[in-house]
Amino acid sequence: MLIKRKEKWQESENSVTGENAYLNRRNILLGAAAAGAATIIPSVLAQPQRKLNALSARKTDYSPGESPSPEEAITQYNNYYEFGTGKSDPAQNAWRLQPKPWSIQVDGLVDKPATYGIEDLIDFNALEERIYRHRCVEAWSMVMPWIGVPLSSVLKKIGVQSGAKYVRFETLADKEQMPGLRWPVLDWPYTEALRMDEAMNDLSFLVVGLYGKELPNQNGAPVRLAVPWKYGFKHVKSIVRISLTEEQPVTTWQASAPREYGFYSNVNPEVSHPRWSQARERRIGEFGRRPTEMFNGYGELVADMYAGMDLARNF
Amino acid sequence: MPEGMNTVTSITTNQLRRYGKPIVFLALLVPAIWLTWNWWLAFQYQPNGLGFNPQETSNRFTGDWAMRILLMSLALSPLAKLIKSPKPILFRRMVGLFAFFYVCLHITSYVWLDMLFDWVELWADVMKRLYITVGFAAFLLFIPLAVTSTKGWIKRLSARRWQTLHRSVYVIGVLVIVHFIMMRKGFQAEPLIYAGILATLYLLRVKRVRALLGRA
Ligand code: HEM
């Protein structure tokens, strides 16, 4: 890990983990939870999981200085409603997903609209590992060792036309592979979007791997978004379509509950979700709650984009 | 009347008092024992069944059981009328008090294990989050029912006034279901299933509906 300057998103090891002792405790606690889960749901684990190939990636200096959350937590505690609404449903059901081969439809205001194979959009020889904080709108958080490429590298490939102001993403919606689609929890397919400057921001990352390997199905294989200054639900999974638009797209959660989920959904401890306070969060594995940071601690990289905007209204 | 029901009604009231009640009592205690045991393990950093977010698991577990047991208590009178035997009523007070006990565990789980007694944050939560306000209202309405559940109180209030008071359990049932539907994200099936059960139990209290069932 190359730390040249110390920025807010690269807090030093001891400033954040001054609680080293507790970090230890945390891992023990999580190990314990995993072992407990394993004893309770052995039948679940009987389903063959896809073998995840190792990915080679260069380390970058995006690192909050906190150790990544345990792999079992990241891969067994998920919100991925296409596989069920329970936190352990995705880990149980996502084996049905077929991430290979994978193609992505690219349309709208682009120079080269087409259906691309994933390898044509993502340069698997240029993968980076970035450690990002991940803050769910439900007030829990983890630390993720993602592997991927900047979203901007893909946008450059497809050619952004001058009128394009937004990037819209769609998740796969296939009843055969996704049992959760049988019940209309949300208006499928799951749709998310970014403003063009947000999409071009260096932090916006297309993720294809986790913990040195290919992305597990339940985490959004084969390709998902990571925008760490925004709540987790903006991190659209298993992307099958990327469209560039002039109009601001309506996202799935916005359509479901416009009062609760805004277009921007930036992490903001001062703006509460109508049903949750966002002031604090539980880092998975800790007993207490810690304060939530503005833009999840990435303000220096992203706050400029929102200068002059009323963030309480544009939530 | 189906066979099974004959068997139920042939058990004597005394047998139900002597064996039935302790069995039901122990059965209703099982979820609480499971929860306490697993929290004890969690605090010892031992493998446990609470998963990666133990606070969430325990808030939901206790909420679910409070609601299920409340529905069980609401099912006893319609059951008694359907099988034309007062025996299920023997269990009504116990089951109702167990529902209240699980509500207390639910609140303990939230106030202690989740919020760590942060009263400022808690009050903000109760006021700001409508679904907690609704749950809180249900809890407040539940207190007088738990307090007046004894024979002494039935006498003191007169049976008629006691009955009127205890009808507020209908309101509690509705508030709890609203609380549940509101706290889930998106349009989910599970709260609606419980809403359906509650609606069925209420319908069974209507004489006409029972008459229809009796004829069928
Ligand atoms: C009669 C009283 C109550 C009953 C029967 C009840 C029942 C429930 C149920 C069934 C759930 C949903 C669990 C699930 O998703 O599976 C729930 C969630 C919840 N309830 Fe209650 N509740 C009551 C009162 C309260 C009160 C007074 C509070 C707070 C002071 C409260 C706080 C919560 C919280 C915070 C959750 C969300 C749990 C989580 O996701 O972490 N409830 N409750």
Q: Are A145 and A288 part of one and the same domain?
A: yes
Q: Are A32 and A69 part of one and the same domain?
A: no
What pLDDT score does A30 carry? 53
Q: Is A213 exposed, middle or buried (0-12, 13-18, 19+ CB in 10 A)?
A: middle
Please state the domain count of chain A: 2
Does B50 contact A282 at a Cβ distance shorter than 8 Å?
A: no
pLDDT band at A45 (very low <50, low <70, confident <90, very high): very low
Q: Are A140 and A209 part of one and the same domain?
A: yes
What is the residue range of A260's domain?
55-306
Q: Are A8 and A127 part of one and the same domain?
A: no
With a 6 A CB cut-off, is B134 part of the ligand 1 pocket? no
What pLDDT score does B6 carry? 56
Q: Are A6 and A100 part of one and the same domain?
A: no
The reply to whether A257 falls in a domain is yes
Share of chain A above pLDDT 70, in %: 83
For A218-234, what is each residue's pLDDT tens digit? 999 999 999 999 999 99
The reply to whether A221 falls in a domain is yes
Q: Say if residue A246's pLDDT is above 70.
A: yes
* β-bridge pairing A224-226 and A205-210: antiparallel
Candidates B116, B185, B188, B190, partner chain A, best to mutate (most A CBs within 10 A): B185
Q: Say if residue B211's pLDDT is above 50.
A: yes
The reply to whether A267 falls in a domain is yes
With a 6 A CB cut-off, is B176 part of the ligand 1 pocket? yes
Following DSSP, what letter does each residue of chain A receive, concatenated? ---SS--GGG--HHHHHTTHHHHHHHHHHHHHHHHHHHHH-HHHHTSPPPP--B---EE-S---SSPPPPHHHHHHS---GGG-SSTTHHHHHGGG---SS-EEEEEESBSS-EEEEHHHHS-TTS-EEEEEEEE-TTSEEEEEEEEEEEHHHHHHHH-B-TT--EEEEEE---TTT-GGGGS-SS-SSPEEEEEHHHHHSTT-EEEEEETTEEPPGGGTSS-EEE-TTB-GGGS--SEEEEEEESSPPPPHHHHH-TTT--SS-B--TTS-BTTB--SEEEETT-SS-EEPPGGGGTHHHHGGGGTT--TTT--
- Reported ipTM: 0.71
For B92-125, what is each residue's pLDDT tens digit? 999 999 999 999 999 999 998 888 888 877 887 7
**Is A23 part of the contact surface with chain B (CB cutoff 8 Å)?**
no
By Cβ distance, the residue of B46, B52, B186 closest to A81 is: B186
The reply to whether A44 falls in a domain is yes
The reply to whether A315 falls in a domain is no
Question: What CATH number is attached to the domain comprising A204?
Answer: 3.90.420.10
Cα of B195 from ligand 1 centre, angstroms:
15
- Residue B9 DSSP code: H
Q: Are A23 and A172 part of one and the same domain?
A: no
| Structure-token pair, residue B120 | 């400022």
Sequence length of chain A is 315
Q: Are A164 and A236 part of one and the same domain?
A: yes
Nearest-Cα residue of chain B relative to residue A233? B185
d(C-alpha B44, C-alpha A32), whole Å: 10
What pLDDT score does A5 carry? 44
For B43-91, what is each residue's pLDDT tens digit? 888 888 998 899 999 999 999 999 999 999 999 999 999 888 999 999 9
Cα of B64 from ligand 1 centre, angstroms:
8
The reply to whether A301 falls in a domain is yes
With a 6 A CB cut-off, is B67 part of the ligand 1 pocket? yes
What pLDDT score does B42 carry? 87
The reply to whether A89 falls in a domain is yes
Mean pLDDT computed over every residue of chain B: 90
* β-bridge pairing A140-150 and A166-171: unpaired
Q: Are A226 and A123 part of one and the same domain?
A: yes
What pLDDT score does B9 carry? 61
Q: Are A150 and A1 part of one and the same domain?
A: no
Does B53 contact A35 at a Cβ distance shorter than 8 Å?
A: no
Q: Are A62 and A41 part of one and the same domain?
A: no
Q: Are A39 and A168 part of one and the same domain?
A: no
pLDDT band at B7 (very low <50, low <70, confident <90, very high): low
Cα of A129 from ligand 1 centre, angstroms:
40
Residue type, A312: A
Q: Under a CB-based contact definition with an 8 Å cutoff, are residues B121 and A277 in contact?
A: yes
Span A192-215, mean pLDDT? 97
Q: Are A171 and A275 part of one and the same domain?
A: yes
d(C-alpha A98, C-alpha A103), whole Å: 11
With a 6 A CB cut-off, is B179 part of the ligand 1 pocket? yes
The reply to whether A178 falls in a domain is yes
